[in-house]
Amino acid sequence: NAGVTQTPKFRILKIGQSMTLQCTQDMNHNYMYWYRQDPGMGLKLIYYSVGAGITDKGEVPNGYNVSRSTTEDFPLRLELAAPSQTSVYFCASRLQVSYNEQFFGPGTRLTVL
Amino acid sequence: AQRVTQPEKLLSVFKGAPVELKCNYSYSGSPELFWYVQYSRQRLQLLLRHISRESIKGFTADLNKGETSFHLKKPFAQEEDSAMYYCALSVGNQGGKLIFGQGTELSVKP
């Protein structure tokens, strides 16, 4: 199992550009999450999904969109990149079981200039 | 409000010394608490969860509901323990999302 994979690893965007961060998991987990981590801060939830076709906002959803058409994939879309979106983005997944751990991807480091 | 606080950004100890990484939480429900660790150039991974009451890599953490704390302890630190440690609270009614503390960097010197 590859676990949770994310692409790209690094990206530099210009203000106003758009991009999609890809996230795939091969563990058949129903729950998936997108977090962002700003320097010196903990991770904050952007969006989450409890299954294919179901998504919901987290703490910091503004400027982002998600979709969940399959169990495996949970892409994060930035429509109009802003410098405030410079961050490290982590995707995670888990089974719908209490106290169950979340498995994290390696992260995508995004810089918006 | 749901919140996790790790008061120390950096904790530096010598090898063999005891370690305690502090974590306090604020949550009105029954908490599910975790410690995650990120070693250099590796992804974030679970270290331990309060419900298991187990020792992982010599680390233990006890949930103290009276003090709303979940401190991580190890009696004798090793150099390979150097990493970023995050305390996290799982909010069950929001897809089991995790609320993270700011993290504590543990540096174990030889």
Q: Looking at residues B75-91, what average pLDDT do you find?
A: 95
What are A63-110's pLDDT values in tens digits?
A: 999 999 999 999 999 989 999 999 999 999 998 776 678 999 999 999
Q: Does A51 touch chain B (CB under 8 A)?
A: no
Which chain A residues in 23-42 lie under 8 Å from chain B, judged by CB atoms? 31, 33, 35, 40-42
Does any CB of chain B come closer than 8 Å to the CB of residue A1?
Answer: no
What value does the mean pLDDT take over residues A23-37? 95
Q: For B48-59, what is each residue's pLDDT tens digit?
A: 988 777 888 999
For the CA atoms of B71, B7, B3, B97, the dihedral, rounded to the nearest 10 degrees, stands at -70
Does the CB of A109 have a partner CB in chain B at under 8 Å?
A: no
pLDDT of residue B69: 95
- Give the nearest chain A residue to B89 (CA atoms): A99
Direct distance between the N- and C-terminal alpha carbons of chain B, in angstroms, rounded to an integer: 41
pLDDT at B93 over 70: no
The answer, for A74 touching chain B at a CB cutoff of 8 Å, is: no
Sheet holding A64-66, edge to edge: A4-7, A19-25, A76-78, A64-66
